[in-house]
Amino acid sequence: MRVTTRLQEIAIRIQPRLLSFAGRLEANPIVSGLKQAFSELNLLLLGLSAILMLRTFNQWWGHFSGLATVSTQAATTILSVMSLLFVVLLTQALMNSRPDGGAITVVNVAAYAIVNARLQQVGSGNPFILACVMTAVTVGLWALLTWGQKKLAPIDSQLAALRHFLAVCVVAGYLLGLAWMMQRIPVIGMQTALGWLTMDHPFWVFVLVFVEMGLWYIGINGYGVLAPVVFLFAYRNLTVDLGAIASNRAPQAILTPNFWDYFLSFSGAGLVGALVILCLVNPNPDLKRLGRSSFSSILFSVSEPILYGLPITMNPYLLVPFLFGTPLLGVAQWFVFKLGWVALPAFHVADLPLPFSVLLSTLDWRSLVLAAVTIAVATAMYAPGLIRWSKVRPADTSDDDFTDLDVDF
Amino acid sequence: MTSIAIGLACNLGASTSILVGKMKQIVAGSQKLATTDVRIDAFSASCIDPEHNPYQVIMLAPQIAHREAEIKQKLATHPVPVTVINATDFGTMNAANILKTALREIKAAEAK
């Protein structure tokens, strides 16, 4: 209990600073650009997953002989341009409809292609991180070169021609410089250094869930804050898995967006479905009502009603299981996949409700068993804290301080 | 017929979309709002477009309260009230209280 009190004190102390930091982070153009680019890429990944699911179903039951070849061709083609599409989407998001947006996007795609071609010679790497770095460099350079340009307008035609000539020189110099640099940088050393950065490791799974729960605990959408960075790794892992399926190999990467959404956050961040179950069977009428009203949301992995209604945020009674228990369960799930007890969640099925999301992302009935066991363990984990909280929780009151309004509800 | 437009924003528009349904139920059951065209939408906070904002008030879910300053800044050229939904009302999905808060914000903005 002393540990809980100490942790609660820390949470209260850092909450204002973290709120301010998270606000600044989410307002950052690169972070918001990443979020937008991944969101726009999602549709293509869903389509690609659907193609590969059809291919798998056909392998199981069907006899459409041509489907395997066609789907493999389609999938490999889409995967080969995936990172280029991401570069385009990210540059567009960062340029935010500026007049030079199209031209800068084209230059950035060329710059990315030059660097990626060299990196591909020595290994796979992470194209999403490379895309992010190259876009930051290219757009940053553009911002530097056009600094204060508005003050020069309007310019006459001769100056415009000169400016155009200078721009051509800058672009040619930039691309040539990149090519020259890539010939000289020890790429193999760089690959070795960055090779371990896949996040597909129990340590990173623990850190990811722990930080996410920490942010949720102080009232910040942890998923929203972490997603742009984590997606750089999770989407890379997803495309590697989809590539493996397309070429009849077994997928290897566990930490994909599906693993985060439907296993680490089964029924919502913090495995809150367990708390909904506990509320439903609790004798406290307020908790029972809360359990009923939150039930439909957990089917879509939406945790906010129970997080704020119970509440879990800043609630010392649930701090330890929420902050430490959830990451440990996440690590346990990672090992279940690693040991091959359940097929990997390699198919992207964003936004499907439970239990279809769990089942279709793995195409393995054992994933349902894993989900059931996880929620059962989480229920046992949360039970002592919730029982103690239900005894001291203040009753829900509806203070009507809206008497100034002429309403009938 | 008067009209009211309320925007509810969260990270992806998922949790606020649950609230929209409940708020619309309250509106449908209200006789005093029977002659008012009430529009309530849920969306991702990233989709807020200051140039084409049809809403008289934008209410942020508590999990994105830290983005209040950013969103107010974004809407600075076309200001509308931006408020954070009370966490308890949001958690218990108290749609009536949230609707009343929205109406009060709109009334206060009109009075200015």
pLDDT of residue A153: 57
Q: Phi and psi dihedrals of A302, rounded to 5? A: -100, 115
Which secondary structure element, helix H or strand E, spans residue B36, and what is its range?
Answer: strand B36-44
Q: d(Cα A362, Cα A366) in Å, to the nearest integer?
A: 9
Give the residue from chain B lying closest to A314, CA to CA.
Answer: B87
pLDDT digits (tens, 9 = 90+) for B40-78: 999 998 888 888 889 999 999 998 988 888 899 888 888
Please answer yes or no on whether A305 and B46 come within 8 Å at the CB atom. Answer: no
pLDDT digits (tens, 9 = 90+) for A304-321: 889 998 899 889 999 999
Tally C-beta pairs within 8 A across A and B. Answer: 111
CB atoms within 10 A of CB A288: 14
pLDDT of residue A20: 84
A156 at the B interface (CB within 8 A)? no
Angle between helices A157-184 and A101-120 (to 10 degrees): 10
Please answer yes or no on whether A305 and B15 come within 8 Å at the CB atom. Answer: yes
Cβ atoms A277, A370 nearer than 8 A: no
Provide mean pLDDT across the span A204-232.
92
Q: Worst-scoring range by mean pLDDT, A9-18, A397-406, B32-41?
A: A397-406
pLDDT of residue A192: 61
pLDDT digits (tens, 9 = 90+) for A56-103: 888 888 777 778 888 888 888 998 888 899 999 999 998 887 778 888
Please answer yes or no on whether A407 and B107 come within 8 Å at the CB atom. Answer: no
Strand order in B36-44's β-sheet?
A: B36-44, B2-10, B57-60, B82-84
Domain containing B16 equals 2-111
Please answer yes or no on whether B29 and A409 come within 8 Å at the CB atom. Answer: yes
pLDDT of residue A342: 96
pLDDT of residue A187: 64
Q: What is the mean pLDDT of chain A?
A: 87
pLDDT of residue A120: 75
Please answer yes or no on whether A305 and B69 come within 8 Å at the CB atom. Answer: no
Q: Is the peptide bond before B50 cis (omega within 30 degrees of 0)?
A: no
B97 at the A interface (CB within 8 A)? yes
Residue type at position B14: A
A408 at the B interface (CB within 8 A)? yes
* A136 pLDDT higher than 70: yes
B82-84/B57-60 β-pairing: parallel
Q: d(Cα B40, Cα B8) in Å, to the nearest integer?
A: 7
Please answer yes or no on whether A296 and B18 come within 8 Å at the CB atom. Answer: yes
* A395 pLDDT higher than 90: no
Number of domains in chain B: 1
- Give the position of tokens 């008012």: B36
pLDDT of residue B41: 94
Cβ atoms A199, A294 nearer than 8 A: no
pLDDT of residue A152: 53
pLDDT band with cut points at 50, 70 and 90 for residue A122: low
Residues 6+ apart with CB under 8 A from B72: B79, B82
* A200 pLDDT higher than 70: yes
Residue A27 has, within 13 A of its CA and on its CB side, a CA count of 16
- Give the position of tokens 């949720």: A216
Q: d(Cα A241, Cα A348) in Å, to the nearest integer?
A: 10
Cβ atoms B30, A408 nearer than 8 A: yes
Q: In A, which residues are within 8 Å of B64 by CB distance? A: 26, 221, 224
CATH code of the domain containing B61: 3.40.50.2300
Residue A360's alpha-carbon distances to A72, A357, A373, in angstroms, are 20, 5, 18
* A167 pLDDT higher than 70: yes
* A371 pLDDT higher than 60: yes
Query: What ipTM score was computed for the predicted complex, to two decimals?
Result: 0.83
pLDDT of residue A214: 93
- Three-state DSSP at A238 gives helix
pLDDT band with cut points at 50, 70 and 90 for residue A361: very high
pLDDT digits (tens, 9 = 90+) for A320-339: 999 999 999 999 999 999 99
B36-44/B2-10 β-pairing: parallel
pLDDT band with cut points at 50, 70 and 90 for residue A3: confident
Q: d(Cα A313, Cα A305) in Å, to the nearest integer?
A: 11
pLDDT digits (tens, 9 = 90+) for B68-111: 888 998 888 888 999 999 888 898 888 999 999 999 999 888 88
Q: d(Cα A134, Cα A91) in Å, to the nearest integer?
A: 10
Q: Phi and psi dihedrals of B3, rounded to 5? A: -135, 150
Residues 6+ apart with CB under 8 A from A48: A75, A78, A79, A242, A348
Tokens representing A357? Answer: 């999301």
Provide mean pLDDT across the span A389-408.
78
